[in-house]
Amino acid sequence: MRLSTIKLAGFKSFVEPTKIPFPDQMTCVVGPNGCGKSNVIDAVRWVLGESSAKNLRGDAMTDVIFNGSTNRKAISQASVELVFDNDKGSPSNTFADRNQIAIKRLVTRDGQSLYFLNGSKCRKRDITDIFLGTGLGPRSYAIIEQGMISRLIESKPQELRVFLEEAAGVSKYKERRRETQTRIKSTRENLERLLDVRKELQSQLDKLAVQSVDAKKYRELKAQERTLKGQIAVLKWQKLHQQQLEKSAQIKKLNDQILFFKTANSGHDDVLASLEGQVQAQQDKLSDAQHQQHVIHTELTRAEQQQINVKQQTQTLKQNLIKLQQRQIQSAEVKSQQQIVCEQLNEALQEASENALICEEQVSGLTHELEELLALKQRHHTHWQALCEQQQQLNNNVQQHSSHIKQTQQQIDHVNEQIDQLTVQLSELQSSDVEQQLIQQSQQTQTLTQELAAKQTAHTHCSAKLEVQNERVNNSQKQYSTLTQTINELKASITGLKSTLGLNEKSERTNGLFNQLSVKEGFELLIEQALKSLEHLNVSEQQADNSVWPNSDKRMPANSLATYITSGVYPEHLARIAYSESGDLAILKDSFYTAVMDENGALYGRNWHVSADRNAENSLLLKHKQLQDKAQQLTNAEDELQQVTHTRDEHTAEQIKLINEQSELKEAIHELAQNIAVAGTRSDMLKQQVAHFKLQLEKLQQQKQQLTNQLLQLNTVLDEQVAQFEVLNEQQLNLTDEVDAANSLRSQSDKSYSEALSMLEQYKTQAHQATLSEQKARSEWRLSQTKLSHAEQEHVSASEGAQELLNEIEELLIPEQELSDKITQLLAQHQKGEQALVLLQKELTQAKESLNTKQISLKNSQGELVGLQEQHQKLTIEEQSLVIKAQVALDPLEELKQSLKAILDELPDSLNLSAAQNQLTGFTNQLDKLGAVNLAAIEEFDLAKARSDYLDNQLDDLTKALNTLEGAIRKIDSETKTRFKATFDQVNEDFAELFPKVFGGGSAYLELTSDDLLESGVSIMARPPGKKNSTIHLLSGGEKALTALSLVFSIFRLNPAPFCMLDEVDAPLDDANVVRFCRLVEEMSQSVQFIYISHNKIAMEMAGRLTGVTMAEPGVSRMVAVDIEQAVQLAHA
């Protein structure tokens, strides 16, 4: 497997998609400093999985993305792809059948890094696994960058061991060992957790085992109880069912008796119906007679009642008359009595009014006095409250002043402490030497600024020249582009015209007629119209001399169309066509002419006419002329292009020279600017420190002065506060006496007000009683007046009523006689009807007696039938009750989910209801003794037992897995030791052989730092010819480089990596050592592909291919590749 191509896009300075091929075994990458050569090495390390930005010469992983330049913007992502030829097979079995392997890495600005393997997205580990044991990797011995040679030779023993492990192919074993150790650690952690879970589960199993025994016993008792309950229910059902069968038999017997009585009673019903018909006929006759008698009796009763009513009304009116006369007398007596009572009550009312008025005057006077006492009381209360508030405020002021005095004293102590601290800080600041440092830094900054100004002036001149030169290059490039575009357009146009004219590069159809003709401008279409099939006409050399094809040089008639052909041969008939702008046919009179053509191209002959075809696009003569013009333009443009190209190359060379000069000045300016910036930053910091110190010193002095003033103020405030405190204490004592005096006055005014208020209440009570007495007297007087008025009205009403009653009595005496005559007639009719009614009743009685006799006989028979029916109904109800009870007795079977048939089949014959109930009581007592039972314990125990068994199996599996992993570790360790020891011996042997070859003598060897082959480090001992140094660190830089290269090539001899990349490893070597180095590389290149960066001409000559990196555009790298063999051949040619 060998590296064939590197593809970069957006990686560091390779902003544009760049493809770097490596077709030879030795490729040298050359270019000026800073052009991006080392970025190629960084790209390979990055795509192989380098994760440290520091090792890629950056601060963050996104620093590998092109960050913009003077003329370009930053881009959003970077990608690198390595393409390997795998014709000889891949080190990984997965890709052994692939002819090509492509590995790609892409990173975006958001820090996302993606890996691709043959176009498919993959993990970083997949990339690493491919190259494990091959010597390739981001930090392997196959990629040696700048400075790595010295680090390699001076590396620690453990770091040097890594290179030998990679050469031995042990790195993949170490990776597997690390994974195995991780698995062992995880397995042991799982094993510990499993043991903890198993222990906890065993504790649960012990508890659940006891609970499951109780649960099983409980379930057994419950099952027996359930069975017994079902049997009891069935026994109850059997008993009730037997009683129901007995009742059914009795009901059947009663049904037979009831049927007999119903048959016997059906004969009595016919006789009874006949007798009832006779009785009904007699009752109808009696009813008619009774109705007639009733009518007469009703009339008689009505007449007698009317007579009685008249007599009663008369009697009533007489009695009412007597009562009204008595009322009249009584009302006169009441009237005289009420008059006397009214006079007495009027006198009492006047007396009560006078008493009420006196009481009201007393209440009014006392109320006024009470208001004065209330105002005095309120004044005393207000005064007392004001004094209390003043006292409270004074107490608060005293407390506040006491607190202020304490605070002031604390502030004085605090200010004294601050003054002491500021005194110490002032002494420290005054001893600082920052100002002296600032003066020195300012002088250094001034010197750097002068240098920067000189460089900037030179850079400005250079930039001005470069701008002028850039303008020239741009103008040259624009001219070049314009000419190139013009030439391409002319070539395309010529190609199109040739295609239209049927020409090609090999055959230009020189014998075509249009190639032989030259026509006067403006007459091309007319000539072509005359010839019509011009494109099919050819002219041979023989025909050119023939008269059929006359030459245009021959003289023709003045009007002939052929006179417009300036050169070339043409058909003879063309000369016989005359030309007339107006198409004058008179010309045809001349027998020489066969036709006339007008200015539009229309052709007129004798008795015929051809229309004009003015389509210039199809004109072959015009196209041929355009072709000649285009060819001439192309020749001129190509000549001009050569001149422009030469001018552009000159301008470009001058531009590159100015760019390099500007770049050097820019770097110098940048370095000076950085130094000035650093110096400026340092000066600013020192100035800030000086200013800060001064400000701080002034601030501290001001603070100290402020604190001193504050201390004086606080002492003054403290004295004033003490004086105020004493004054407030004296005021507090005086105010206490005033409060006591005001409180005494308040109590006296309260007492006076209370006594006056009590007396006012007494007066109000007396006034209220007097008012009530007055109201009572007034009510009695008014009542007496009402009675008097009522007596007068009663007397008048009685007189009027008596007169009305006399008139009514006279009116009732007339109809009383008429009613007496009518009653006499009705009495005679009623007596006659009574005699006929007695006869009918006698006949009806006889018929009823016969009917009653028959009914009694039937009733007795029906009574017996009803008794039997009642007995039947009672038995039916009892039977239905037994059926319901039997069904209810079977209800427990539904709850117990048992069937009647199953219980009957299994029911013992010897079991009775009493014995079953006793057994049920026994089971219930046993269940009560068990108490609370965890019924889920059985299932929980089974689940826990299953989980325990599962955990036991897992425990066994983990134990076996642990043993297997430990065995794998031992196997890996054994294989690692074997491979490492063999590799160490072989590399040591090759190193001892190569070192004298490189140095021309001397000796070198490797040695292990301990006997443990798994952990032992590797150290280097090298002694160049004539030296006996005790350590390798005493060697020079060149000797260290050659020693490191000897070691690396020794490793390559044993396990050659697919390629080796070297970054200026020959820099510390002199020419003699470079020659030795080149010979060694050339020898190794037979089996290893070398890609190296060098500035040494000897190393460049050794390469089979030179790949140059340029930076014509600032900040943008581009590739220029040269094949050395082809270059040599061209040079010799």
Tell me the binding residues for ATP: 32-39
Q: What are 195's two structure tokens?
A: 């043991």
Alpha carbons 195 and 186: distance in angstroms, whole number:
14
Alpha carbons 692 and 964: distance in angstroms, whole number:
71
Alpha helices in 913-1036 (DSSP H): 913-930, 937-999
Sign, CA torsion 943/945/946/950: positive
Residue type present at position 906: E
Closest C-alpha among 23, 40, 48, 42 to residue 135: 48
Alpha carbons 168 and 987: distance in angstroms, whole number:
10
Q: What are 1072's two structure tokens?
A: 């003699």
Alpha carbons 479 and 640: distance in angstroms, whole number:
9
Phi, psi of 97 (to 5 degrees): -95, 5
Alpha carbons 265 and 863: distance in angstroms, whole number:
11
> 810-840 b/e with 16+ CB inside 10 Å = b?
eeeeeeeeebeebbeebeeebeebeeeeeeb
Q: What is the DSSP string of 308-353?
A: HHHHHHHHHHHHHHHHHHHHHHHHHHHHHHHHHHHHHHHHHHHHHH
Give the CB-side neighbour count of residue 930, counting CA atoms within 13 A: 22
Q: What's CA 380's distance to the chain center, in Å? A: 76
Q: How far from each other are the two terminal CA atoms of the chain, in whole angstroms?
A: 36
Return the SS3 of 1005: strand
Contact 1122, 1116 (CB under 8 A): no
Q: What are 797's two structure tokens?
A: 């009403």
Return the SS3 of 564: helix
Contact 261, 868 (CB under 8 A): yes
Residue type present at position 156: K
Annotated binding-site members: 32-39
- The residues with which 137 forms a beta bridge, in sequence order, are none
For 81, 538, 615, the CA distances from 512, given in Å and listed in that order, are: 59, 4, 21
Give the 3-state secondary structure of 250-297.
HHHHHHHHHHHHHHHHHHHHHHHHHHHHHHHHHHHHHHHHHHHHHHHH
Alpha carbons 849 and 135: distance in angstroms, whole number:
148
Contact 155, 1009 (CB under 8 A): no
Alpha carbons 608 and 594: distance in angstroms, whole number:
11
Contact 450, 597 (CB under 8 A): no
Alpha carbons 521 and 616: distance in angstroms, whole number:
13
- The residues with which 609 forms a beta bridge, in sequence order, are 604
Reported as type and span, the H/E element at residue 611 is none
How many other C-beta atoms lie within 10 A of the C-beta of residue 996?
15
Alpha carbons 1101 and 286: distance in angstroms, whole number:
170
Contact 583, 489 (CB under 8 A): no
Phi, psi of 602 (to 5 degrees): -75, 140
Alpha carbons 380 and 753: distance in angstroms, whole number:
12
Contact 1041, 150 (CB under 8 A): yes
